[in-house]
Amino acid sequence: MNQEIIQKAKKGGVLIVVGATGSGKSTGIPQALLSTTNDLITVTQPRRVAAISLAGHVKRIITCVPGDKVGYKVRFSDTTNKNTRLRYVTDGILLKELQEEVKLLTVVVDEVHERSIRTDILLGLLKKRINGIRLVLMSATADVNMLTEYFAKDGIPVSHCEIPSQKHDVRIKYLPKKSSDYIQLAYDTIKKIIKDAKTERESTNKSKNNENSRDAKSSADRQNNSKCSAPKSLESKKKKKSFLGASSGEGMDEIDCLFSGVSLKSCSPVQEKNDMFTSGTILVFLSGLEDIEDLYKMLEVHSGIELLKLHSSLPDKEQQLIFTRRQKNIRVILSTNIAETSLTIEDVKWVVDAGVQKINLSKEGVDTLGIIKISKSAAKQRSGRAGRVGPGVCYRLYTEDAYNGLQENNIPEILRADISSVTLSLIALGADPEKFDFLESPGENSILSALSELFILGLISDQKKITALGKEVSKLPLSPSLGKFLIHGKSLGAGCSAAAVCSLLSGERISLFPKDIDTSSIISVHESPTKCSDLSLYASVFFTYFKYSPRLRKDFCQSLKISQQEMKNSENIYRQLLSLMKIEGNAVDEETEKEETGYGCTPLKTNTADKLHAAASAGFLTRVAEARGSGYVHMYSERMVYIHPSSVMFSRREGQVSFIMTSETAKPYILHVFPYTPNIIMAGGGIVL
């Protein structure tokens, strides 16, 4: 198969490779291409954890030192050097490099089927450069016809290859009736799996002990018999192994999966040895970080299991723990959809699928976090993780009717999310977003909304030309709004505070603090409670964490019930932002008070908080809301919104507030709220609403 791929890749044009998850395409094909060229091969991934883990895996295979022949480059981390011949990068990194006219000769775009915004844009940009590069597109479930037509319509030759998968059978189990509390269901399912695995281990060990006893007895008998007779030929009889649950007299097909009063309906029976399910990994798919934290707290009290988290906000070292050797019989990994593709976790035998995912949506020019149902394609990807090394079981925490009602594929991100960031990238490259050759156009309204946002922020002119401020912002690994916020923060003398806030907002959390904490008590960290905002509080908490020793940092995070892992990750991002912006780290002393307040925190100086709010107001000009009735009216969309209960400004009433994003749950909530401060919005362009 590798020879076929090599031959087709040598012909130039576009090669589309389709292979199921776990087929080895993400590591095998780049290695095969290494033998065809001495030039640099670039492989893109939609997620940083995949880029890092795949680079590490290939390094181990070809036994090279880190950063030598194989490396990775992701946001805030680069292990490549002049000797690197194969590198794994995020699609966002390659998009930035195209702005800098980096020379590319062989590019492999992986996980095309995910249809991330950046991947779609990359395809359009690489298509324009196709005469100078070899382009390989790889996917688990790619729409080959759409991709072929996209390139072939302009006379670009396209060839195809399919890598056969070696999946094992996976038994699918459904709920017989609808239930909305998938966190509790997931908890009960995990408990059931652990209990059954323990029972099976005990049954297997007992069977082995009995066999050993019989063998010992037979050996003794043979020795006794040998004293008075010649040795006899003995034929050992193999004892049949029981199925999972055999200790209670049940076979695998009749197993009673009852928990919390809800039974599971089983489909696609699969035959397996009993010892297949005595140990292994349980992979649990949840909607997002909040779900993971909730279930983690429920499970961490149980001993005897190895419990891990997997989401994009984790520090790289924490993410890589899932690839280490399992320490206990059962490992439980609580994950977002990050584990659907790219990542291969070798010993997954059980998958628990909540059937939901958290995605970014764009509503009236505002980033919105929403929880939606997954697609059939995603459900199949998830269940397939259990069939990698042997037979597996997938527990779908929804009904079979619900599965049948799911749409076939995920909606491409470019059709549902804010495209202002990639629109700015296109303009920085000299392209016209309204004339760009998209794989699938986001639509005129979406493009015009992005152009309007960038114009209001002062990043482009009315002629769709990038401004000086726009050029600065386009070089930062941040959204246009956060980028402008950081630049203005530096110019106003609050650069460290702005960098701290940007680093904390790089994750997907709707709040720095858990939902069960009393936010009124946290306000005590601020010297002037009436001026405390979510942003000034974030900066205060960050700087306090920053000044403590490692041991005290842990205690501090526990006192505020915040994640130390996320704080570690934010610290790394903070240092990178200071370096990019050429901000002196000791400038923080000029932005904070010397005396501590509540929780031992170091508050921002009052004038620093004012500057921080002014800089943020400049960056989020379209996110202003005016008090009306029991809530606020978003001035850009004229829609009623409400301050989220997790905000420290929840119980305060301001005439106007600004916010960074919204969350569509019980109400349209606004998140990361701060006082709207228009009076200092000036240098760098922008329109005051």
DSSP 33-60: HHTT-SS-EEEEESSHHHHHHHHHHHHH
CATH number for position 44:
3.40.50.300
Cα–Cα distance, 319 to 569 (Å, whole number): 11
CB 142 within 8 A of CB 113: yes
Got the DSSP string for 498-558?
A: HHHHHHHTTS--S-SS-TTS-HHHHGGGSSSGGG--HHHHHHHHHHHHHHS-HHHHHHHHH
How many residues are present in the chain? 689
Alpha carbon separation from 625 to 86, 529, 614, 636, 653 (Å, rounded): 49, 21, 15, 8, 12
Q: Are residues 156 and 295 in the same domain?
A: no
> Which has the closest alpha carbon to 384: 113, 115, 169?
169
Q: What integer is the mean pLDDT of 208-221?
A: 55
Q: Please report whether residue 586 resides in a domain.
A: no
Q: Are residues 444 and 338 in the same domain?
A: no
Q: What is the pLDDT of residue 110?
A: 94
Q: What integer is the mean pLDDT of 201-215?
A: 62
Range of the domain at 151: 1-163
Q: What is the pLDDT of residue 236?
A: 32
CB 634 within 8 A of CB 643: no
Q: What is the pLDDT of residue 600?
A: 54
Q: How many domains does the chain have?
A: 3
> 587 or 46: which carries more pLDDT confidence?
46
At residue 172, the 3 state secondary structure works out as: strand
**Per-residue pLDDT band at 573 (split at 50, 70, 90):** confident
Among 464, 481, 500, which residue terminates a domain? 464
CB 374 within 8 A of CB 339: no
Q: What integer is the mean pLDDT of 195-199?
A: 86
Most confidently predicted of 203-212, 236-245, 271-280, 398-407: 398-407
Q: Please report whether residue 91 resides in a domain.
A: yes
Q: Please report whether residue 347 resides in a domain.
A: yes
Cβ-based burial of 19 (10 A; exposed 0-12, middle 13-18, buried ≥19): buried
* pLDDT above 80 (res 383): yes
> How many C-beta atoms lie closer than 10 Å to residue 570's C-beta?
26
Amino acid symbol at 444: E
CB 40 within 8 A of CB 105: yes
The structure tokens 């409670």 sit at 529
Cα–Cα distance, 526 to 532 (Å, whole number): 6
Q: What integer is the mean pLDDT of 670-678?
A: 91
Q: Is beta strand 265-267 parallel, antiparallel or unpaired with respect to 305-310? A: unpaired
Q: Please report whether residue 537 resides in a domain.
A: no
Q: Are residues 295 and 422 in the same domain?
A: no
Tokens of 49: 């954890």
Cα–Cα distance, 291 to 284 (Å, whole number): 11
Q: Please report whether residue 199 resides in a domain.
A: no
Q: What integer is the mean pLDDT of 545-556?
A: 84
> Which has the closest alpha carbon to 12: 199, 151, 220?
151
Cα–Cα distance, 36 to 423 (Å, whole number): 35
CB 340 within 8 A of CB 285: yes
Phi, psi of 309 (to 5 degrees): -110, 155
Tokens of 443: 């639509």
Q: Please report whether residue 472 resides in a domain.
A: no
Q: Please report whether residue 430 resides in a domain.
A: yes
Q: Are residues 396 and 453 in the same domain?
A: no
Tokens of 662: 């919204």
Amino acid symbol at 300: E
Q: What integer is the mean pLDDT of 356-383?
A: 82
Q: Are residues 324 and 377 in the same domain?
A: yes
Q: What integer is the mean pLDDT of 315-330?
A: 78
At residue 674, the 3 state secondary structure works out as: strand
Q: What is the pLDDT of residue 335?
A: 95
Which residues have CB under 8 Å from 470's CB, separation 6+?
A: 424, 427, 428, 454, 458, 459, 460
CB 161 within 8 A of CB 134: no
Mean pLDDT of the chain: 81
Q: What is the pLDDT of residue 147?
A: 92
Q: Are residues 139 and 6 in the same domain?
A: yes
* pLDDT above 80 (res 93): yes
Q: Are residues 143 and 285 in the same domain?
A: no
Q: Are residues 132 and 4 in the same domain?
A: yes
Which of the residue ranges 167-176, 238-247, 438-447, 546-555 would you say has the lowest mean pLDDT? Answer: 238-247
CB 62 within 8 A of CB 69: yes
Q: Are residues 428 and 403 in the same domain?
A: no
* pLDDT above 80 (res 41): yes
**Per-residue pLDDT band at 461 (split at 50, 70, 90):** very high
Q: What is the pLDDT of residue 135?
A: 94
Q: Are residues 440 and 405 in the same domain?
A: no
Among 447, 464, 481, which residue terminates a domain? 464
Among 349, 379, 414, which residue terminates a domain? 414
The structure tokens 């791929």 sit at 5
CB 641 within 8 A of CB 656: no
**Per-residue pLDDT band at 285 (split at 50, 70, 90):** very high
Q: Are residues 156 and 303 in the same domain?
A: no
Tens digit of pLDDT for each residue in 618-664? 999 999 999 999 999 999 889 999 998 888 888 888 999 999 988 87
Which residues have CB under 8 Å from 419's CB, separation 6+?
A: 117, 362, 442, 446, 447, 450
Q: Are residues 442 and 337 in the same domain?
A: no
> 81 or 325: which carries more pLDDT confidence?
81
Q: What is the pLDDT of residue 162?
A: 87
> 119 or 592: which carries more pLDDT confidence?
119
Cα–Cα distance, 134 to 137 (Å, whole number): 10
Q: Please report whether residue 67 resides in a domain.
A: yes
* pLDDT above 80 (res 406): yes
> Which has the closest alpha carbon to 482: 472, 325, 213?
472
% of the chain with per-residue pLDDT over 90? 41
* pLDDT above 50 (res 471): yes
